[in-house]
Amino acid sequence: MVRAVIAIHGGAGAIARASMSAEKEQHYIQALSAIVTSGQTILAAGGSALDAVTEAVRLLEECPLFNAGKGAVFTHQGTHELDASVMDGRTLDAGAVAGVRRVRNPVLAARAVLENSPHVMLIGEGAEAFAFEQGLEQVATDFFSTQARWQQLQRALSAEQMVLDHDGAAQTSGDPIDPENKFGTVGAVAVDLHGNLAAATSTGGMTNKQTGRVGDSPIIGAGCYANNANVAVSCTGTGEVFMRSLAAYDIAALMEYGGLSLKEACDRVVMEKIRVLGGSGGAIAVDREGNVALPFNSEGMYRGYGYVGDEPSVGIYREE
Ligand code: GLY
């Protein structure tokens, strides 16, 4: 029997220890640990990987520390547009939503698309109408707003730059616009006691993005992929580069066609191929044997994982 495990991420970027207060660090550690524990509890009870990753990402969306759901970044126009996806490695069924503004938990909308629609991706008002028909919670468009994100937008507007969801330092003009706040996509991957794999990803995108911009997070094969034959992957980082690289699927393909191990495939994509195209970020991945990889080419990545029966293991910086 496979050793069931869940891994999560809360974004990658220039997360320097020096710019993080001890109090804030504790908030991140506690949030990551609690969410890994929730996933472990589902898996320990014989729950599916699909349920574990959906619930982990829902909890990440509910936590304002992370750029997904409550606490999502602002668009250039001062709105929020949220993207999410989920994939079941057992059936290769997938669901995704993009550009939703009033669905409290975009990952639940993605899951509803997977389970109750003939489609894979719904966008904008059509996605919202579908989610509400499915009984999902509707919120006011400012439900997702926080003061920290609003200030982040004002800094980006005055610098006339778009801040990547996770890493202001990746911008071309040198200094990060927002060195004290590094935010990113969230995601989860898992293998359950039955050997089934699943992945889920959710994001507010990037601060000051053009309305209508969609990144890798809701694109199956780019920011999210799961296949029982090999691996489940959720990505975080420079969305456009992860899309052009089909990063999540590329990890699976390197394993399937190239015979690479989980670690080799993850390193090839995250540490080499994404970098060559000028991208930064990371991925979390679990293979069908229950091996875990958490690679990132940035300074840090909010991350955690936990095998059933073990204590959660969480980290933020590179040297952990
Ligand atoms: N990686 C998330 C985004 O670029 O939207």
- Tens-level pLDDT at each residue, the chain (320 residues): 789 999 999 999 877 777 788 998 999 999 999 999 999 999 999 999 999 999 999 999 999 999 999 999 999 999 999 999 999 999 999 999 999 999 999 999 999 999 999 999 999 999 999 999 999 999 999 999 989 888 888 888 887 666 654 444 333 333 334 444 445 799 999 999 999 999 999 999 998 999 999 999 999 999 999 999 999 999 999 999 999 999 999 999 999 999 999 999 999 999 999 999 999 999 999 999 999 999 999 989 999 999 999 999 999 998 77
**How much distance in Å is there from the Cα of 221 to the middle of ligand 1?**
14
CA distances (Å), 244 to each of 149, 176, 204, 250, 274, in order?
A: 27, 24, 19, 11, 9
Q: Give the number of the atom of ligand 1 that is nearest the alpha carbon of residue 236.
A: 1
Q: Please name the residue whose Cα sits nearest to atom 4 of ligand 1.
A: 239
Contact in structure between 142 and 107 (CB atoms under 8 Å): no
Our CA dihedral for 167, 235, 286, 296, rounded to 10 degrees, sits at: -30
**What pLDDT, on a 0 to 100 scale, did the predictor assign at position 169?**
36
* pLDDT given at position 27: 94
> Is 203 touching ligand 1 by the criterion CB < 6 Å?
yes
- Three-state DSSP at 39 gives helix
> What integer pLDDT is reported at residue 175 of this predicted model?
35
Taking the C-alpha atoms of residue 279 and residue 223, their distance in angstroms, rounded to an integer, is 13
Please give the distance, rounded to the nearest whole angstrom, from the Cα atom of residue 300 to the centre of ligand 1: 16
Can you give the pLDDT at residue 161?
Answer: 65
Ligand 1 pocket check for 217: Cβ under 6 Å: yes
Active site amino acids: 185
**Which DSSP state fits 202?**
E
Q: How far is the CA of 91 from the centre of ligand 1 (A)?
A: 26
Q: DSSP state, 103?
A: B
Contact 248, 283 (CB under 8 A): yes
Q: Which atom of ligand 1 is nearest to the CA of 242?
A: 1
> What does the pLDDT read at residue 2?
86
CA of 17 to the centre of ligand 1 (A): 23
Is there an atom of ligand 1 within 6 Å of 196 CB?
A: no
Of ligand 1's listed atoms, the one at least distance from the Cα of 215 is 5
